[in-house]
Amino acid sequence: MSKQQAAIVSAGFCEHASKRSDVNMAEMANEAIQDCLNNANIEMDAVDAIVMGNMPAFEGANLPELWMTDWVGARDKPLIRVTTGGTTGGSVAIAGYYHVAAGLPGIETVLAVAFEQQSCGNTSVGLSSVALGEISIVNALGLPAESAMRIFGAGAAIGIASYQAINYMKRSGCTEEDLARVVVQNRRNAAKNWWTHLKMPDYTIEQVMATPYVSYPLRFGMVTPASDGACAVLFTREEIAKDTVDIPAYVNGVSSVANETGIVGYAAAGAGQLDPCEQLGAVESAKLAYSQAGISFPEKEIDYAEVYSPFPNQELMWLERLGLFKENTAHLRYRDGTTAPNGELPVNCSGGVNSTNAIGASGLERVAEAALQIMGKAENQVPKTVHTSIGHGWGGCINFVTLTVLSDQPRRK
């Protein structure tokens, strides 16, 4: 048991769509795994352990890793499943890293798999059940069920995003057009990747602004889709990685700092964050992961970012909290094209979560794309050389954040 440098050598996806009715979740996860193994020319036999993750409530299947054994190649192999809501994918990537980095004898190559088949279940039921326990308690304490549902219903993902959007717009002076601009960039990027869901090469700001509000200030045209999809990433030790690919993406920093449960929540937990834009967890995560990776000036040292932003305002917010742009200036960087694929700091060239959102898989897809950009194998490869990139995840009740820092050089000892 001695510490190892972990690296990503391959990533695979399955085709994402709103209803992958042609496959079940096991077959869907298998597609991504096949793609991942093929890309690195590796057989399943070479995989020593598996880390899996999804949000089980969306598919209505408890402990899916058990019956999916043969589809993910886990027979007679070590497997654990981590799940943390929206950050599941990010947590799977981090678990994959720890499995390799801990250096247990016999565990050298680890397959990380995350998937979500949202069409199997009812996503809004899945989401509202986050607070179901709280709602039932509040109801028992005398708040009428109707009011409780109304108050906490607005706390579901989109509601929280609009809380954030309102506060962010007030802070930074960013306009609705700025939000639309983020969406347009994402959807156009998505059109350049084969596996993404909402491919819209000709999307314009005017088209976004012509759609009705879903929850002020977020419009229908800005909202993330609900997708079916899966992603697989292969983690291995430094020496194996060097033999497998030309440029491995070394994992140099990981963190997943939890904040207090925000906004939603009542008696025993929650209601801790005054400003949903503050995101102390993200700030702390960034500090931790950057220090592990030896990054002192993130705005200068990071060349590429994949951030988890189902809604456009979050993309702006995260880029600031993760230290890539100065406070309240992210929307200006979208105006001047800094974040475009050919810009100074390209962001979400995969199209991001705004274009494709298979919730459990989204966090891992961010890490996968950030790695592919370093390896030079991304579909929508940026023209500049990427030395350091980050993959970020967000979830829970706006309180979970995962961050993975990748580089083309191993960590400085």
Partner 1 sequence: MNKVGIVGYYQVPPALDHNMGRYELIFQAVRGALDNVGLKHKDVTSVVSATNDYYDGRTISNCFTVEAGGGYMKDETKVEMDGAFAVHYGMLRALTGHHKLVLVWGGSMSSCYPYSSSTLLSTDPTFERPLELINDMTAGAFQMRAYMNHFNVSAEDIAQVAVKNRRNATSNELALPESQLPAATTEMILKADVLSSPVTELMYSHPCDGAACIILAPEQQALKIRDDPVWITGVGYSQEAYYLGDRDLTQSQSMKNAAQMAYKMAGVKDPKKETDVAEVFEHFAHEEMIFSEALGFCKPGEGASLSTEIGGELPINPSGGAMSGNTPCATGMIRLIEAAKQIHGDASEHQVKDVHRVVASGQIGLCAQNNILFVLERGGRK
Partner 2 sequence: MVKLEYLKKEYEKTRQMPGKWPLSSYRYKFNITHFQPFLKALKEKRLIGLKCRSCNTVSFPPKLVCGKCLVQPDQWVALRDTGMVATFTANYMKDETTGELQSFPVIAIQQDGADTTFLTQLNPAVKFEDVYVGMPVKVKWKNQPEGNLGDIEYYDVIDDATKKMKLQNE
Site for partner 1 in 222-281 (CB under 8 A): 254-261, 265, 268-270, 272, 280-281
CB of 144 to partner 1, least distance (A): 21
58-66 contacts, C-beta under 8 A, 24 or more apart: 58/116, 58/117, 58/118, 58/120, 58/121, 58/123, 58/126, 58/359, 58/360, 59/25, 59/116, 59/117, 59/118, 59/120, 59/121, 60/120, 60/121, 61/25, 61/120, 64/25, 64/26
Span interacting with partner 1, options 78-86, 193-201, 228-236, 294-302, rule CB under 8 A: 78-86
104 binds, among partner 2, partner 1, none (CB under 5 to 8 A by kind): partner 1
Tell me: does residue 66 bind partner 2 (CB under 8 A): no
Interacting residue with partner 1 among 43, 63, 142, 383 (CB under 8 A): 63
* Residue 114: closest CA among 191, 40, 33, 168: 33
Give me the sheet containing 400-407, strands edge to edge.
Answer: 49-53, 110-117, 228-237, 6-13, 249-255, 400-407, 388-395, 304-306
205 binds, among partner 1, partner 2, none (CB under 5 to 8 A by kind): none
CB of 321 to partner 1, least distance (A): 14
Using DSSP, state whether 285 is helix, strand or coil.
helix
> Between residue 342 and residue 381, which ones bind partner 1 under the rule CB under 8 A?
none
> Between residue 167 and residue 186, which ones bind partner 2 under the rule CB under 8 A?
167, 170
Tell me: does residue 335 bind partner 2 (CB under 8 A): no
- Cα 312 to chain centroid distance, Å, stands at 14
Span interacting with partner 1, options 34-42, 60-68, 205-213, 347-355, rule CB under 8 A: 60-68
Using DSSP, state whether 210 is helix, strand or coil.
coil
Within 10 A of 239 (CB to CB), how many other CB atoms are there? 12
Tell me: does residue 407 bind partner 1 (CB under 8 A): no
> Between residue 289 and residue 318, which ones bind partner 1 under the rule CB under 8 A?
292
91 binds, among partner 2, partner 1, none (CB under 5 to 8 A by kind): partner 1
Interacting residue with partner 1 among 18, 22, 70, 336 (CB under 8 A): 70
Tell me: does residue 385 bind partner 2 (CB under 8 A): no
Judged by beta carbon, residue 126 or residue 217, the one nearer partner 1 is 126
Site string for partner 2, 11-30 (x = CB under 8 A): ------xxxxxxxx--x---
Span interacting with partner 1, options 77-85, 310-318, 348-356, 365-373, rule CB under 8 A: 77-85
Span interacting with partner 2, options 64-72, 209-217, 314-322, 324-332, rule CB under 8 A: 209-217
Tell me: does residue 124 bind partner 2 (CB under 8 A): no
Span interacting with partner 2, options 45-53, 87-95, 268-276, 387-395, rule CB under 8 A: 268-276
> Between residue 242 and residue 261, which ones bind partner 2 under the rule CB under 8 A?
260
Question: Is there a contact between 131 and 398 (Cβ–Cβ < 8 Å)?
Answer: no
Tell me: does residue 401 bind partner 2 (CB under 8 A): no
Q: Residue 217, preceding bond cis, omega within 30 degrees?
A: yes
Judged by beta carbon, residue 104 or residue 240, the one nearer partner 1 is 104
Tell me: does residue 129 bind partner 2 (CB under 8 A): yes
Cα torsion 303, 276, 287, 99: sign: negative
Using DSSP, state whether 171 is helix, strand or coil.
helix
Half-sphere exposure (Cβ direction) of 170: Cα atoms closer than 13 Å: 10
Span interacting with partner 2, options 72-80, 131-139, 344-352, 364-372, rule CB under 8 A: 131-139
Query: Two tokens at 298?
Result: 């993130």
DSSP result, 351-378: -HHHH---HHHHHHHHHHHHHHHHHT--
* Helix intervals (H) in 102-236: 123-128, 132-140, 145-153, 157-172, 176-190, 205-209
